[in-house]
């Protein structure tokens, strides 16, 4: 049996396959050579544009802070003290009229633990136009106040809650649970009042 093998044709096929693969590699490298400079330029342009926007915003913030400082300095002048005091007085009067007990109790009901309830609430407008609440809360367990304070901290309406005092009142009747009373102070942020305080007169 004789086998005819053309070694020259096999070498030709091997070289042709190598050339084809090399051509593909060269084309890919050429494309990457064109794309990479474009990507570098685009990244540089984006970074430059973002940096310019950040600098512009910083300048605007600095200008607003300067304007605010100048306005506060004008208000604090001795000749303007009476006008400033009158403005603060009327702002407080408007805020008191805008205060809604219904809204307050609805907001408290949303965050009140199941075994806790409101005994009394005393709102007060602070010198910096913050609405501070002094609340007396009743509950069957001491853990009620912990749950309430946590919910206040997570709420948008109540800020900086502080437990001022706690007492326990035990009933003489057997089987009656003890009554815990907690005094809590917190800053209240109702929508309507805060809008009035921001706008002023």
Domain contains 164: yes
- pTM value is 0.48
* Cβ neighbours around 103 below 10 Å, total: 15
Structural domains of the chain, count: 2
Pairing of strands 131-139, 158-169: unpaired
112 and 47 housed in the same domain: no
- Give the residue numbers spanning the domain of 46: 1-58
| CATH number assigned to the domain comprising residue 135 | 3.30.70.60
Domain contains 124: yes
Domain contains 133: yes
**pLDDT tens by residue, the chain, 201 residues:** 454 544 444 444 555 665 667 677 777 777 777 777 777 777 776 676 777 777 788 888 888 888 878 877 776 777 666 666 666 665 665 566 666 788 888 899 999 988 889 999 998 888 777 889 999 999 888 888 889 999 999 988 899 999 999 888 776 566 667 788 999 999 998 875 554 444 443
Per-residue tokens: 142: 């001491």
Of the candidates 108, 110, 116, the residue with the CA atom closest to the CA atom of residue 181: 116
């Amino acid at each position: 049996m004789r086998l005819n093998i053309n070694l020259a044709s096999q070498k030709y096929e091997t070289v042709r396959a190598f050339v084809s693969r090399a051509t593909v590699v060269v084309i890919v490298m050429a494309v990457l050579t064109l794309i990479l400079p474009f990507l570098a330029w685009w990244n540089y342009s984006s970074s430059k544009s973002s940096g310019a926007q950040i600098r512009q915003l910083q300048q605007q913030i600095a200008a607003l802070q300067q304007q605010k400082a100048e306005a506060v300095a004008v208000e604090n002048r001795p000749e303007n003290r009476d006008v400033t005091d009158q403005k603060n007085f009327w702002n407080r009067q408007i805020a008191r009229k805008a205060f809604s007990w219904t809204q307050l109790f609805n907001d408290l009901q949303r965050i009140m633990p199941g075994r806790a309830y409101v005994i009394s609430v005393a709102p007060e407008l602070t010198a910096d136009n913050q609405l501070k609440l002094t609340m007396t809360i009743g509950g069957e367990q001491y853990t009620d106040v912990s749950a309430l304070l946590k919910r206040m901290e997570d709420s948008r309406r109540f800020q900086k809650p502080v437990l001022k005092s706690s007492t326990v009142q035990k009933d003489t009747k057997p089987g009656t649970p003890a009554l815990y009373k907690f005094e809590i102070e917190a800053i209240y942020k109702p929508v309507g009042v805060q809008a009035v305080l921001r706008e002023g007169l």
